[in-house]
């Protein structure tokens, strides 16, 4: 089932607008995001009290070479108890950064967006409203209502979505959307091999094979105003293709072994 942003904003699925969840872990990966980091943390501190009774904010600094690590440490000292940071000494990749975020999360609902401010933290409420609906999904995947990316990124996304539908049966319209929400207990048995851009696809594939219910909700998407994107770099795309086919072949030759392969999502 899918829901568009306008209807959820007016009244959440089931008619309860503005319903808060009990507790929420919110994290974001950040690689060379010195121009976005402080504004994103301020945005989260303003928005999350309207979404959750109790919350935490976690940044994962994935080996940044700019001022991101120092800014993050300063913010963690300033907002001790609410915001904390996980540092990677070197750039390990997008999936590795997400894995660190999941492992650092402590609460029963776990949400993430990217650190480039192409999503608004307030729109996480669209996901929390959906996960609280009567059909009780285990995962809520955002899909970008109007993707604010260059044509080459949109072309990659269409090909990627179709490939995951054909070869893995994952029927979500925006599999790589960096705005997702999970119930912690659904993540407990999941192990993921990829440390790159295929990480979230592998996670959803394995959740599907575990029989978990995946719902979708439309979310606004905004153009990047600072920093540099890396998702379309040939090395990133090549790593995702390699991880895609590695998982597909392993599943063909033995699903149980493929499902057990990789590192646990939760720490």
User: By the 8 A CB rule, do 176 and 220 touch?
Assistant: no
Q: What is the pLDDT of residue 126?
A: 98
Q: Give the whole-angstrom CA distance, residue 256 versus residue 143.
A: 30
pLDDT band, residue 196 (cuts 50/70/90): very high
The residue-averaged pLDDT of 113-127 equals 97
Q: What is the pLDDT of residue 232?
A: 60
pLDDT band, residue 150 (cuts 50/70/90): confident
110 is a domain residue? yes
User: By the 8 A CB rule, do 231 and 197 touch?
Assistant: yes
Interval 5-36: pLDDT, tens: 434 343 343 333 468 999 999 999 999 999 99
Q: Give the whole-angstrom CA distance, residue 190 versus residue 107.
A: 17
Q: What is the pLDDT of residue 15?
A: 36
Q: What is the pLDDT of residue 157?
A: 84
Round to the nearest angstrom and report the end-to-end CA distance of the chain: 31
Number of structural domains (the chain) is 1
Tell me phi and psi for residue 182, to 5 degrees.
-135, 145
21 is a domain residue? yes
267 is a domain residue? no
Q: Which domain holds residue 225?
A: 5-260
266 is a domain residue? no
The residue-averaged pLDDT of 50-71 equals 98
Q: Give me the CATH number covering residue 16.
A: 3.90.550.10
Q: 135, exposed or middle or buried, with CB in 10 Å at 0-12, 13-18, 19+? A: exposed
16 is a domain residue? yes
Closest C-alpha among 97, 108, 104, 112 to residue 44: 112
Interval 80-118: pLDDT, tens: 999 999 999 999 999 999 999 999 999 999 999 999 999
pLDDT band, residue 231 (cuts 50/70/90): low
Q: What are the start-end ranges of the E strands in 89-136?
A: 109-113
265 is a domain residue? no
Token code pair at residue 178: 């960096």
């Amino acid at each position: 089932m899918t829901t568009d942003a306008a209807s959820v904003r007016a009244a959440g699925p089931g008619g309860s607008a503005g319903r808060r969840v009990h507790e929420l872990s919110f994290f974001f990966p950040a690689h060379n995001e010195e121009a976005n980091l402080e504004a994103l943390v301020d945005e989260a501190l303003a928005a999350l009290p309207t979404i959750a009774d109790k919350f935490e904010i976690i940044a994962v600094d994935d080996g940044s070479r700019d001022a991101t690590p120092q800014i993050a440490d300063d913010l963690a000292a300033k907002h001790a108890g609410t915001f904390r940071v996980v540092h990677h000494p070197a750039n390990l990749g997008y999936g590795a950064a997400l894995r660190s975020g999941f492992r650092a999360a402590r609460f029963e609902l776990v949400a993430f967006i990217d650190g480039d401010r192409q999503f608004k933290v307030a729109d996480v409420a669209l996901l929390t409203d959906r996960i609280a609906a009567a059909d009780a999904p285990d995962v809520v995947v955002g899909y970008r209502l109007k993707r604010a990316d260059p044509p080459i990124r949109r072309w990659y996304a269409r090909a990627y979505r179709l490939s995951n539908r054909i070869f893995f049966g994952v029927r979500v319209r925006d599999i790589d959307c960096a705005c997702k929400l999970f119930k912690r207990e659904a993540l407990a048995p999941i192990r993921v091999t990829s440390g790159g851009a295929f990480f979230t696809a592998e996670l959803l594939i394995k959740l599907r094979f575990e029989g978990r219910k995946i719902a979708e909700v439309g979310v606004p998407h905004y153009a990047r105003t600072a920093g540099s994107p890396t998702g379309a770099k040939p090395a990133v795309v090549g790593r995702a293709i390699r991880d895609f086919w590695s998982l597909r072949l392993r599943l063909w030759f033995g699903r149980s072994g493929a499902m057990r392969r990789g590192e646990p999502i939760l720490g």
